[in-house]
Amino acid sequence: MNLNEGVTVVSIKDIAEACGVSTATVSKALNDRDDVNPATKERVQETAKLLGYLPNAMARALKTKKSYNIGVLMVDKAQSGLKHHYFSSILDSFKVVMERNGYDLTFISSQIGSQTCSYYEHCQYRNVDGVLAACVDFRTPEVQALLQSELPVVSIDYVSENGCAVASDNADGIRSAVKYALMKGHREIAYIYGDDSQVTEIRCEAFRNTLWEHHCEVRNQFIRQGKYLAPEIAYRLTQVLLAEDAHRPSCIVYPDDICAIAGIAAISDNHLEAGKDVSVIGYDGNPTLRLLRPNLTTIQQDTDTMGVKSAELMLKLLRKEQIAASEKVLYCKGQLLEGETVAQL
């Protein structure tokens, strides 16, 4: 056993000596080859486990032509990154499955030290086997170049013609929010939506369609563009909506829970009560924010399932398994969490 900076490194030779076999036999046993006696293979593998043997990453990469490294692209306009509860929760469950299958994660950016590069160039530099694109502006040329490259890519909440994606069912989520407000007797429903993106387009269309289906007037002044995770903008837009005394909305749907909390603050600053005078519905199901009172009514997205499904799809791509067209895009439904911020009219 060699010592390197105080860390004990177990070699194939150490395992061979402990088992009384050749290094070639150990190598074959650790690679689960069929030309090794099953009993010997089991003894070698157990000994390796007991001694704490870890295969050399560089040697394994040379042999398998794989780095066992997955790139993660999380670069959004709001610079929220891992602070974004929705994406960090997806990444957490994705990480668990990928690590269980022997993969490490590396974050991809447009910088390598002080040098600027494309996302694809960074992926080449890190020699990643695949990429999870979880929080990024998919419409930029840099991201499109990555999506169209030879690398296996699984995108979150972005569906392209030939790509693989796992998406929250945003249309169903908004429909659930609006239907719940309608069930509570609300007809004057406003919507503050987020940045221009595929998700936003889907949500806005679902909002309008649900109102039309229930014979409710769609008031353009009640549909305002805000920004995801921008409470100051949500606060200001709520003030604008509340200033419409003649046609003030009785319920406001927000793009995320953080914006919904800002909306509640704006309602309170107008000497009104959220959940009584003006109703509020959030989006995401952030467990921390739901501890606040009044308890926020929101749409909870199934981030655990999304992370697991993303990992399963990535593993299929890495193993070059056949993926049916119907399996290339997976939608995960959320659920409405009933709180105290929607009044019964």
Q: Which helix (H) or strand (E) holds 153?
A: strand 153-156
- CA pair distance 158, 89, nearest whole angstrom: 17
Provide the token pair at 128: 């990643």
Q: Identify whether residues 101 and 38 lie together within a single domain.
A: no
Angle at 23 between CA 67 and CA 34, to 5 degrees: 70
Q: Which helix (H) or strand (E) holds 217?
A: none
Lowest mean pLDDT, pick from 26-30, 64-68, 187-191: 64-68
Name the residue range of residue 132's domain.
69-168+305-332
- Identify the residue with better confidence: 112 or 93: 93
Lowest mean pLDDT, pick from 60-69, 106-115, 172-181, 313-322: 60-69
**In CATH, what number is assigned to the domain containing residue 21?**
1.10.260.40
Q: Quick check: is 46 in a domain?
A: yes
Q: Quick check: is 210 in a domain?
A: yes
Q: Identify whether residues 270 and 316 lie together within a single domain.
A: no
- Identify the residue with better confidence: 65 or 18: 18
Q: Which of 50-54, 88-92, 177-181, 320-324 has the highest average model confidence (pLDDT)?
A: 177-181
Question: Please, which pLDDT band fits residue 4 given cuts at 50, 70 and 90?
Answer: very low
Which one-letter DSSP state was computed for residue 301?
P
Q: What is the total residue count of the chain? A: 345
The pLDDT assigned to 179 comes to 98
Q: Identify whether residues 179 and 263 lie together within a single domain.
A: yes
The pLDDT assigned to 60 comes to 58
Q: Identify whether residues 128 and 191 lie together within a single domain.
A: no
Question: Please, which pLDDT band fits residue 7 given cuts at 50, 70 and 90?
Answer: very low
Q: Identify whether residues 158 and 198 lie together within a single domain.
A: no
- Answer whether 180's CB lies under 8 Å from 281's CB: yes
Neighbours of 86 (CB within 10 A): 24
Nearest CA-CA partner of 170 in 287, 304, 332: 332
Tell me the DSSP string of 183-226: HTT---EEEEE-SSSHHHHHHHHHHHHHHHHTT----GGGEEE-
Stretch 64-82: mean pLDDT: 74
Q: Identify whether residues 84 and 161 lie together within a single domain.
A: yes
Domain count of the chain?
3
The pLDDT assigned to 172 comes to 98
Q: Identify whether residues 271 and 281 lie together within a single domain.
A: yes
- Tens-place pLDDT, residues 303-343: 999 999 999 999 999 999 999 988 999 999 999 999 999 99
Strand order in the sheet with 153-156: 104-108, 69-75, 130-136, 153-156, 164-168, 329-332
Q: Which of 13, 29, 54 is the last residue of a domain?
A: 54
Q: Identify whether residues 295 and 309 lie together within a single domain.
A: no
Q: Identify whether residues 226 and 260 lie together within a single domain.
A: yes
Query: Do the bridges between strand 223-225 and strand 189-193 make them parallel or antiparallel, or are there none, so unpaired?
Result: parallel
Q: Identify whether residues 248 and 174 lie together within a single domain.
A: yes
Work out the burial of residue 55: count CB atoms within 10 Å of its CB; fewer than 13 is exposed, 13-18 middle, 19 or more buried: middle
**In CATH, what number is assigned to the domain containing residue 177?**
3.40.50.2300
- CA pair distance 116, 86, nearest whole angstrom: 28
Query: Do the bridges between strand 69-75 and strand 130-136 make them parallel or antiparallel, or are there none, so unpaired?
Result: parallel
The pLDDT assigned to 282 comes to 98
The pLDDT assigned to 72 comes to 95
The pLDDT assigned to 111 comes to 76
Q: Identify whether residues 28 and 121 lie together within a single domain.
A: no
The pLDDT assigned to 1 comes to 44
- Tens-place pLDDT, residues 225-250: 999 999 999 999 999 999 976 789 99
Q: Is the pLDDT of residue 97 over 50?
A: yes
Question: What whole-number percentage of the chain has pLDDT above 70?
Answer: 91
Question: Please, which pLDDT band fits residue 3 given cuts at 50, 70 and 90?
Answer: very low
Q: Quick check: is 25 in a domain?
A: yes
Which one-letter DSSP state was computed for residue 110?
S
Q: Is the pLDDT of residue 80 over 60?
A: no
Q: Quick check: is 261 in a domain?
A: yes
- CA pair distance 345, 338, nearest whole angstrom: 16
Stretch 249-258: mean pLDDT: 97
- Tens-place pLDDT, residues 180-220: 999 999 999 999 999 999 999 999 999 999 999 999 999 99
Q: Is the pLDDT of residue 286 over 70?
A: yes
